[in-house]
């Protein structure tokens, strides 16, 4: 398994859109279905490819819009003196599947995580929405961007997000076709460092 070591953090991609972060002997997991033995479990929404059944989450430290510590865009949670999580919007505006919007506004969230002064942004399942533009003046060190199209941004839409936010590193998530990664990388490489985990 490929692991990124960045400023005393260890970061891995797991499952479809899952991210594992280890910092200061604490493990933070976002949208991880397997091996959920983490200190903090964050879920962007409750679709089955992002969150396990609630029974598996029982008696665990869960932060999500549907279970555990229930969060909404605009909330802030302080996990420790040097780990703060901001909850932001994540939703569809252009995607329709079987006649409905797969991620309507209010259904899911994204997470902006400040770890000892470094900012990581897990966008969640989203289109390039106007709320992303609010973050353009923030220094984002690592962006986890969904690029798979269909129910999330296409590689081209995710590239627009990168050009808007200008993160130091971009890690694509929520894709199964390597061609999507190649397209995303080829568009954004001048604006960010793309890493495949």
Query: Is residue 155 pLDDT above 90, yes or no?
Result: yes
> Is-contact 107 92, C-beta < 8 A?
no
Query: Is residue 158 pLDDT above 80, yes or no?
Result: yes
pLDDT at position 37 is: 84
Q: What is the CATH number of domain 4-194?
A: 3.60.15.10
pLDDT at position 29 is: 97
Tokens of 192: 């960010």
CA separation for the pair 85, 88 (Å, rounded): 10
CA separation for the pair 95, 169 (Å, rounded): 26
If pLDDT is split at 50, 70 and 90, which confidence band does 147 have?
A: very high
Q: In the predicted model, what is the mean pLDDT of the chain?
A: 95
pLDDT, one tens digit per residue, over 5-31 is: 999 999 999 999 999 999 999 999 999
Q: In degrees rounded to 5, what are phi and psi of residue 11?
A: -130, 135
pTM comes to: 0.97
3-state SS, one letter per residue, for 117-147: CEEEEECCCCCCCHHHHHHHHCCCCEEEEEC
**For a pLDDT cut of 90, what percent of the chain falls above it?**
91
CA separation for the pair 155, 7 (Å, rounded): 27
pLDDT at position 58 is: 78
pLDDT at position 59 is: 73
Closest of 26, 30, 25, 18 to residue 63, by C-alpha: 30
Closest of 52, 20, 183, 26 to residue 116, by C-alpha: 26
Query: Is residue 35 pLDDT above 80, yes or no?
Result: no
> Is-contact 112 120, C-beta < 8 A?
yes
pLDDT at position 81 is: 92
CA dihedral sign of residues 144, 99, 64, 41: negative
Q: What is the mean pLDDT of residues 106-133?
A: 97
pLDDT, one tens digit per residue, over 43-102 is: 999 999 999 988 888 778 999 999 999 999 999 999 999 999 999 999 999 999 999 999
CA separation for the pair 128, 160 (Å, rounded): 8
CA dihedral sign of residues 19, 131, 108, 161: negative
Query: Is residue 118 pLDDT above 80, yes or no?
Result: yes
Q: What is the mean pLDDT of residues 162-185?
A: 97
């Amino acid at each position: 398994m490929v692991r990124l070591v960045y400023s005393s953090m260890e970061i891995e991609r797991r499952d479809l859109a899952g991210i594992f972060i280890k910092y200061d002997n604490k493990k933070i997991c976002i949208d991880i279905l397997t091996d959920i033995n983490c200190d903090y479990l964050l879920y962007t929404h409750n679709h089955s490819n992002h969150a396990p059944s609630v029974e598996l989450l029982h008696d665990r430290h869960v932060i999500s819009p549907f279970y555990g510590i229930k969060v909404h865009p605009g909330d802030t949670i302080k996990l420790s003196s040097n780990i703060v999580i901001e909850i932001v919007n994540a939703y569809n505006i252009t995607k329709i599947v079987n006649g409905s919007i797969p991620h309507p506004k209010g259904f899911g969230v994204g997470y902006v995580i400040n770890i000892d002064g470094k900012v990581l942004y897990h966008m969640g399942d989203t289109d390039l929405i106007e709320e992303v533009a609010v973050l353009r003046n923030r220094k984002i060190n690592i962006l986890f961007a969904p690029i798979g199209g269909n129910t999330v941004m296409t590689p081209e839409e995710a590239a627009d997000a990168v050009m808007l936010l200008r993160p130091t590193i971009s890690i694509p998530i929520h894709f199964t076709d390597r061609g999507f990664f190649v397209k995303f990388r080829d568009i954004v490489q001048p604006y960010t460092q793309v890493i495949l985990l």
